[in-house]
Structure formats: C-alpha cells, structure tokens
Amino acid sequence: MTAPVLLSQIRGHGPLPKHIAIIMDGNGRWARERMLPRPMGHRQGMKGVREVVEGAIEAGVEVLSLFAFSQENWQRPATEIGALMSLLEEYIQREADELEAQGVRVQMLGDLDRLAPPARAAVDRVMAQTATNSTLVLNLFISYGSRAEIVRAARRIAEEVAAGMLRPDQVDEAAISARLFTEGCPDPDLLIRTSGERRISNFLLWQLAYTELHISPVLWPDFTRVNLYEAILDYQTRDRRFGRVSV
C-alpha cells in the first residue's frame, strides 16, 4: 500500500503511539550485500532518518527516539568511527534548518563528552537552534548505553542521599526516571527494530518495560515511512494491559 492509504488507515484504526523508539539496524549488511564499504551503508541510512522524521510528523507522533551510536560502537575500527562522526556533522549541517522549519526539537542523548570537538559543537548547535520547537521531539541517542544510564542515575541518587538532599524513602521509580536522559518524555509505546534482529541491544532498558515490540525485516537504509506506518498499524492491533487482565 502507499503511504497516504496507510496513513488514512492509521487515523481511523485506533490509538496512536505517542512515543516511538527505533533501533536503526542493518547499515553494514546493506553495504556488504552491495559489496560497498560499511560507511556507505551509514550514509544511505541518513535517508531513513529523514523518512521516519517526516512520517512521524505526518502521523502525529509526539516523540521519536533513534538509537544512532552505542557506547559499544566505540570499539569499532577508528576509520568507521571517524566516518560516523563525519556523517553526524554532515547530517546536522544538512538537516538543521529543515528540522527547525518543521517544528522538530532535537535532543542528543548519551555520553556526549566522548564526541570529538567538531561533532560536539554541531550537536550543541542543533539542540540550541531547535530548543523551542514542539511539533516533534527527536531524541538521537549518541554514545549511549542503557546500563550506563541507569548506573549514572543511581550514582546521582546516592550522592543526593549522602548530601541530605534526598531521603532513602523518596527513592522510587519516579526518582529514577527523573534522572535518566529521557527525563520529561513518556516511555516509548512502540519499539521498532529493523533488519530482523530480535534484541534490544542495551537500549532504554528501564523505559521499555511495557513497550510493544515490532521487528521489521527491512534493513535500515531501505526503511521508509510506509514501513513506519505498517509498524504503527501493527501496534494499533495490540491489547496493552500493563500487567492487568482485560475485562
């Protein structure tokens, strides 16, 4: 089906996910199947980012979270890391004005101190440029690992308790959530993973507690808004009980 037909079905089909998270997987495989260098797969994957951002806006999604670069990815060859950082700078330079015009607020989440100065400057620039927008929150997770995020939150809580700023009986789920990178965002309603892999790969472990999962066989560089809308339609068929029994 075409994107407009699917979008029409979504609007009359059921509740819309407010927050969609995506593990963008398959860039390397896409390049390997075409006998191209891995960085070419990452470059092609930039088109997928634009597709899902525009598709999310059209569908009325409020928050879109994209897993772009994990802490574990720092272990990849230096040439690939360099290419990824260059692509990050290029994406921001190319898309920042359009994102601002579309009302997208960009948040880069993760251990940003590990970024090289040019990449960090580009990240800070696009966040400042789009800070007042409200049509869509775009969370781009860079140098991110969920276990490290939870450890960071626990350390902050421990420091606050030790300083007398927080009582132990005040440490609850809300206290932890408020100290995660996603503070202020609702937990994802839908997680999409591309390329057919069935792992969450240390992504949003806390936040995904009751998230619906959709595994797409499509490699990320080939993922379009049609695939996004198919995932949303699949989500709309789910019976979300959050541990309760349906009446």
Catalytic residues: 25, 73
Length of the chain: 247
In Å, what is the CA distance from 203 to each residue of 71, 150, 184, 223, 237? 10, 11, 18, 20, 24
User: Given phi > 0 = left and psi -120 to 50 = alpha, else beta, which region is 195?
Assistant: left
- In angstroms, rounded to a whole number, what is the distance separating the alpha carbons of residues 201 and 216? 15
Integer angstrom CA distances of residue 67 from 53, 145, 191: 13, 10, 11
d(CA 211, CA 189): 5
Strand arrangement, sheet containing 63-70: 104-109, 136-144, 63-70, 19-23, 190-193, 212-215
